[in-house]
Structure 1
Amino acid sequence: MKTVVTFGTFDVLHVGHLHLLERAARLGDRLVVGVSTDALNQEKKARSAVYPEHERLELIRALRCVDDTFFEHSLEKKADYVRECGASILVMGDDWKGRFDNLSSLCDVVYLPRTPSISTTGVLEKIRG
């Protein structure tokens, strides 16, 4: 069985998130998703998430392309998460291109293109008007 793992905050869930997860799921037999904790999101984006971590995890877990979820507490623990999931493929958005190439000894590292013209920041700006 080929397990794929990916990560994200998934705040203000949008079709770009869905497209990335569906494409990641097609690369293997099982998709496991690490959802950034509120603390990690604050650390990496310097802003609070709109929705709390438990709600974001619940939303991602409910998607039919997702087989399992867990909380990601640290960007520096990606190798540990890959091992714990038994992942043979790590998928990240191409905005992270090159950042996790050091994990290629543990698994295949794939960077998927983001859905054009869609981002959480853009959605939040649109909401704010």
Structure 2
Amino acid sequence: MKQFKTGYTTGVFDLFHVGHLNILQKAKELCETLIVGVSTDELVVEYKGKKPVISHADRMAIVDGVRYVDRVVPQINRDKWSAWNELRFDAMFVGDDWKGTPLFNQLDKEFSEGGIALVYLPYTKGVSSTILRERVLLK
């Protein structure tokens, strides 16, 4: 039996790479059902200031094709409580590169008070969509 019934994680998943695969695999190892929120193009522009290379529809299809993923939903905002109200997960998974940030310190406190686990998974060092984008542009 897995530690959690329903888990949730989010991301842009632009230029899908092994780091994305690692977090999805590790999250699925801990939960029976894994729901993944894929950020809309508009949301990415709003908080990252740049448009993804791959369209939202294609990123949703790519994530949906990963065997560790049970359900894919659009992430239209970064409000994790509204996601919880809709999806009722008992654990949220996030890369440990977010640990200690004001956003996740606050969320960790709020989630723990609500009985929701915030689980930090190892970030895959040396790979990111930003690094891939820069490599492609330099060629």
Query: How far, CA to CA, are the matches of 1:30 and 1:42 in structure 2?
Result: 29
TM-score, normalisation: structure 2: 0.87
Query: How far, CA to CA, are the matches of 1:65 and 1:111 in structure 2?
Result: 17
Q: Which amino acid counterpart does residue 69 of structure 1 have in structure 2?
A: V
Instruction: Mark the CA change 1:110 to 1:55 in structure 2 (over 3 Å): closer, same or farther.
Output: same
| Alignment correspondent of 2:50 | 47
Q: Gaps (5+ residues) in structure 1?
A: none
TM-score, normalisation: structure 1: 0.93
Q: How far 1:106 sits from its partner (Å)?
A: 4.4
Counterparts in 2 of 1:64-83, with a 5 A limit? Answer: 64-76=67-79, 78-83=80-85
Rg bigger for which structure? 2
| Alignment correspondent of 2:98 | 96
Q: Which runs of 4+ in 1 moved over 4 A?
A: none
Query: How far, CA to CA, are the matches of 1:52 and 1:118 in structure 2?
Result: 20
Paired residues in the alignment total 128
Query: How far, CA to CA, are the matches of 1:95 and 1:15 in structure 2?
Result: 16
Q: Indicate the SS of the match to 1:81.
A: helix
Q: Which amino acid counterpart does residue 81 of structure 1 have in structure 2?
A: A
| Alignment correspondent of 2:117 | 108
Q: Which amino acid counterpart does residue 108 of structure 1 have in structure 2?
A: A
Counterparts in 2 of 1:7-46, with a 5 A limit? Answer: 7-46=10-49
Across the aligned residues of Structure 1 and Structure 2, the Cα RMSD in angstroms comes to: 1.3
Query: How far, CA to CA, are the matches of 2:44 and 2:24 in structure 1?
Result: 19
1:82–1:90: 8 Å Cα contact kept in structure 2? no
